């Protein structure tokens, strides 16, 4: 049992390593783009990317998550023909939809650039990013096959590898050329998907040889299951994209791409709060699905308990740092021209704490097959987000968008938590949460105290202050038994007990 638990922890650490590695690479890309482009060009780049993402949610009809959900079942049953049939069905749907969307964007590119984005730069970026539909779909399909086979090394390393290629080539062209950088960066972004597809095709063939060896045998019951699950995933994904990206598109329409440029500084900075939890959500879905199909419901409950005992410990200190020092963080990383985004960052820092917990909750609901319930909850949150954005963006610009998004995240957290408490019959460790809040107050007090005492280079001072306070924060967490390694390992052991 101990070896089984250690195996689960080892796989989780693999996901953690690569997901955490992706975070600094992603932010280095944004820093490079923010410094290499004007505020308008930077805003246009990410406004078009958000637009592409909004349309892209319909591309696979929700079939990719359905694949992750059912592959462990087919693998356990050794139904190799069903595996190939399911993958072929998803690939065919994605290819057809990609071609249609690609053609529509090319036809409407001038109209969209003039009447929606209201930017000539968008006319340059739109036709390039249209190819994201084709390459990203293949990339995502490969990633989800690895997830279905629970190959953590491959599915967790794909995006960091792609982002690293974007960073390297973007930096090279940034040094060599100073013109048409927005076009160059767009091309690099699109081609990074193609490059990653080629590299990961070899381990995919080794992981799933049945995709080549076994005949395709389309089964109506299997296809119906995939479509039914996929429909509700797409249903909730639409609302999820509304919560995540519609604020950018509404800012584009009401305020212009310059405001988007500022908001796209605050928003990604706030997502740093999710760095510690993203590996967990990525890891949870395929593994919860595996335990669910194995009828190990008690083990799922143990995992949820372990997550909620430590979740706030990971989110709260990061959120408080961004809430208390937004201007310093923005100026140091992106430059003074983006300082007006500081209030939006303050608001989003609080909102993304709740976003982290709701992400955990929804990964669990996906794994236990409750996508319909998840969809209803997310749609309620998305509806609230739309209403608040329509009211607050015209009044308060990027601060209004940040407030609307944060309120919606809180609603999603509260609603999903109530659902899981009723469904899985677990009680969050409220006593631990109180300890964490006290620990965070000590953490912030120590940061202020050290900043008062020290007077040195801003980068060195920041590293020393945050590093010292962070070590003490973690130490108190172990002393007060907020973080209990043995309890986490025990939960992992139970989760893999056959």
pTM: 0.66
Q: Could you say which DSSP state residue 339 is in?
A: G
Alpha-carbon distance of 439 to 461, in angstroms, equals 22
Residue 29 has a pLDDT of: 93
Residue 165 has a pLDDT of: 96
What does each C-alpha distance from 488 to 9, 115, 482 come to in angstroms? 9, 53, 11
Tokens of 333: 């990383």
Among residues 466, 137, 452, 141, the alpha carbon closest in space to that of 321 is found at 466
| N-terminal to C-terminal alpha carbon distance within the chain | 9
Alpha-carbon distance of 338 to 360, in angstroms, equals 31
Residue 363 has a pLDDT of: 82
- Sequence-distant (6+) residues with CB within 8 A of 141 are 60, 64, 67, 87, 90, 91, 94
Alpha-carbon distance of 227 to 245, in angstroms, equals 25
Among residues 149, 153, 152, 154, the alpha carbon closest in space to that of 78 is found at 149
Alpha-carbon distance of 314 to 273, in angstroms, equals 8
Residue 307 has a pLDDT of: 74
Residue 62 has a pLDDT of: 66
With beta carbons less than 8 A apart as the criterion, state whether 161 and 194 touch.
no
Residue 160 has a pLDDT of: 92
Alpha-carbon distance of 485 to 489, in angstroms, equals 6
- Sequence-distant (6+) residues with CB within 8 A of 45 are 33, 37, 121, 125, 182, 185, 186
With beta carbons less than 8 A apart as the criterion, state whether 84 and 162 touch.
no
Residue 235 has a pLDDT of: 60
Residue 5 has a pLDDT of: 47
* Under-70 pLDDT residues of the chain: 1-12, 56-62, 213-222, 228-245, 276, 279, 282-283, 286, 309, 484-498
């Amino acid at each position: 049992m101990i070896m089984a638990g250690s195996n689960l922890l080892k796989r989780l650490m693999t996901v953690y390593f690569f997901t955490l590695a992706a975070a600094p690479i992603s932010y280095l890309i944004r820093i490079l783009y923010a410094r290499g482009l004007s505020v308008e060009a930077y805003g246009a780049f990410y406004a078009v990317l958000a637009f592409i993402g909004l349309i892209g949610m319909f591309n696979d009809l929700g079939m990719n998550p359905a694949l992750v959900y059912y592959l462990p079942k087919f693998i356990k049953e050794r139904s190799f023909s069903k595996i190939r049939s399911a993958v072929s069905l998803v690939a065919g749907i994605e290819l057809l939809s990609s071609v249609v969307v690609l053609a529509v964007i090319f036809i409407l590119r001038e109209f969209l650039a003039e009447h929606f984005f209201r930017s000539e730069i968008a006319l340059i970026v739109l036709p390039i990013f249209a190819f994201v539909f084709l390459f990203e779909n293949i990339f995502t399909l490969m990633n989800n096959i690895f997830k279905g086979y629970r190959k953590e090394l491959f599915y967790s390393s794909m995006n960091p590898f792609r982002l690293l290629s974007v960073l390297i080539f973007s930096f090279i062209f940034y040094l060599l050329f100073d013109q048409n950088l927005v076009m160059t960066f767009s091309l690099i972004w699109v081609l990074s998907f193609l490059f990653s597809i080629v590299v990961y095709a070899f381990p995919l063939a080794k992981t799933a040889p049945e995709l080549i060896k076994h005949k395709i045998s389309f089964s109506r019951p299997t296809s119906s299951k995939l479509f039914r699950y996929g429909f509700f995933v797409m249903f909730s994904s639409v609302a999820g994209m509304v919560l995540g990206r519609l604020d950018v598109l509404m800012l584009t329409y009401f305020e212009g791409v310059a405001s988007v440029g500022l908001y796209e500084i605050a928003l990604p900075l706030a997502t740093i709060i999710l760095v510690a939890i993203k590996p967990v959500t990525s890891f949870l879905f395929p593994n919860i699905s595996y335990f669910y199909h194995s009828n190990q419901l008690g083990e799922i409950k143990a995992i949820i308990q372990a997550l909620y005992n430590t979740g706030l410990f990971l989110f709260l200190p990061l959120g408080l740092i961004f809430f208390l020092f937004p201007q310093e963080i923005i100026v140091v990383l992106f430059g003074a021209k983006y300082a007006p985004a500081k209030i939006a960052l303050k608001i989003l820092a609080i909102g993304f704490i709740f976003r982290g917990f709701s992400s955990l909750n929804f990964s669990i609901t996906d794994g236990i097959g409750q996508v319909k319930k998840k969809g209803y909850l997310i749609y309620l949150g998305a509806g609230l987000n739309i209403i608040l954005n329509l009211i607050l963006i015209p009044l308060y610009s990027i601060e209004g968008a940040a407030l609307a998004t944060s309120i919606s995240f809180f609603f999603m957290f509260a609603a999903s938590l109530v659902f899981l408490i009723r469904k899985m019959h677990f009680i969050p460790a409220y006593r631990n949460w109180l300890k964490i809040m006290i620990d965070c107050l000590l953490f912030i007090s120590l940061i202020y105290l050290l900043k008062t005492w020290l007077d040195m280079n801003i980068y060195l001072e920041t590293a020393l202050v945050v590093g010292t306070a962070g070590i003490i924060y973690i130490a108190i967490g172990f002393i007060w038994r907020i973080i209990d390694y043995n309890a986490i390992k025990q939960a992992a052991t139970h989760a893999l007990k056959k």
